Structure 1
């Protein structure tokens, strides 16, 4: 069983450290409402690792973790966990909070199921995206190797203290006040992966037979394991 950390805050640090938010910004907003807001009401949201369909040419946030897995840019799976929330549910919570009785003055944590391990995320991609997930790794990097590598690797250093920790969280307030009912985490992972494949944002490995390839099929010809850019 993973160790538990009960601080209730998710993270997106694995393989793509996010830009640090200004820690004073939320407090500054609350201070402004309290001192100069007049009748202004404020509600804030704290989404964990936001995943879901990509609508444009750029991949941001926690979706970058999935993109790197699909592109085969991750050498192995780490023993770390991600609390996930679907981007559709984040949007729905914002819209509902504007009119829901009791939402004013509240801060809502937005997360779906219990946190997914990196291995579970990789398994979902392989099971649901089939050949498009051929580059997703299956090997697990031992914790001791991660700690040893952290001495010289900034990315490993950023996650070494997260090894084996699955964060606990409660979304009871969002479910109660906003009547919030999020999608399962798996839905967010699959929607993100499929949208990136459809938009050509990941490299998909295809096996081409000699009869299908227009070039040489002999030993001197190109490799049968071709990397192609997926297109919508």
Structure 2
């Protein structure tokens, strides 16, 4: 078994990657910005069945050099999952872009210097499918977000520029170290604790009846357990070296379709559809609605053929969304509004 570093161990995706690595028998290390979080993160993983006797914690920050060399020393592989994800748009886009790019390069330099065989970088569909407007053909791993394109937000830029920086670094300075990237769409599935990602918070609001209506917005869905499984495949498969892998379960879904899945499977109240003209009107005064306006009616599609060729077999959209709902109920984070 290998010794593997997972960065950002307190995060949603990183937690599931750690769970699967430990279950597979690996020795795992993880980074947190402050070691005061170790007891909390360890307890969360243990509640979800992990034997954490083979898990070690290291303090490392995306914006500082301290701790990275120690964390990665002796590791065979690295999963660089940590990346800033703002819940609201920052006033300065560099507040998101700088730590994403510099943090990725810090992790890669430390991995190269430690003789790591392969780094798996958690990128995003945000680095693939934005800035192009309407498009009929599915996105693939050959596509890149146009950071100068219309309505490309700072987070999308940060993921695109960080991944491009990673590929450039490995090509010019990486030596024998290999790189693979996993590019998920909207990540759903079982929450591990009350620290909710944006996608999980959307489901929580729907279940609590706090969403006034469903706009004509579409997105891809993938279960976090399948994202973690693809990380492990990208780490171990010889053919994954130097490749990107889109993580998407199937066809994109609309907000209303997601609400219907929750209505059928979890008995939650079905919110009304919101006409696009109302969203545009609200967008004049509401920043969240304003951010949504450029995406109204755009149904981006993406192919998972390349990931499936590795042996990846994702859960369905419905399974991922209902698993989210079940976890929120199990964690007592929502009291569903039924209807």
TM-score, structure 2 as length reference: 0.53
Deviations 1:153-195 (A, max 9, x none): 111111112112211111111111x111111011000000110
Q: Does 2:327 match 1:190? A: no
Could you tell me which of 203, 228, 239 is aligned with 1:91? 228
Q: Does 2:75 match 1:75? A: no
2:262 matched to which residue of 1? 125
Inter-CA distance 60–72: structure 2 relative to 1 (3 Å threshold): same
Inter-CA distance 169–22: structure 2 relative to 1 (3 Å threshold): closer
Could you tell me which of 110, 113, 116 is aligned with 2:247? 110
Inter-CA distance 8–62: structure 2 relative to 1 (3 Å threshold): farther
Inter-CA distance 201–109: structure 2 relative to 1 (3 Å threshold): same
In 2, Cα distance between equivalents of 1:48 and 1:120: 17
Extract structure 1 runs of 4+ deviating beyond 6 A.
none
- Using the TM superposition, give the Cα deviation of residue 129 of structure 1 relative to its aligned residue in structure 2, in angstroms: 1.0
Deviations 1:113-164 (A, max 9, x none): 101111111011111112xx24xx4311111111122111111111112112
In 2, Cα distance between equivalents of 1:138 and 1:18: 30
1:61 matched to which residue of 2? 198
Contact 1:49 1:83 in 2 (8 A): yes
- Using the TM superposition, give the Cα deviation of residue 24 of structure 1 relative to its aligned residue in structure 2, in angstroms: 2.5
What RMSD in Å do the two structures reach over aligned CA positions?
A: 2.2
1:32 matched to which residue of 2? 169
- Using the TM superposition, give the Cα deviation of residue 204 of structure 1 relative to its aligned residue in structure 2, in angstroms: 3.1
Instruction: Determine which structure has the larger helix proportion and give its number.
Output: 2
Contact 1:53 1:195 in 2 (8 A): yes
Q: What secondary structure is seen at the aligned counterpart in 2 of 1:193?
A: helix
* Unpaired stretches in structure 2, ≥5 consecutive residues: 1-133, 141-152
Aligned residues: 193
Q: What secondary structure is seen at the aligned counterpart in 2 of 1:204?
A: coil
Contact 1:5 1:165 in 2 (8 A): no
Structure whose alpha-carbon radius of gyration is higher: 1
Relative contact order, CA 8 A, sep 6+: which one is greater?
Answer: 1
Q: Does 2:336 match 1:204? A: yes
2:89 matched to which residue of 1? none
* Unpaired stretches in structure 1, ≥5 consecutive residues: 10-16, 207-232
Contact 2:218 2:297 in 1 (8 A): yes
1:181 matched to which residue of 2? 313
In 2, Cα distance between equivalents of 1:53 and 1:18: 27
In 1, Cα distance between equivalents of 2:240 and 2:211: 41
2:291 matched to which residue of 1? 158
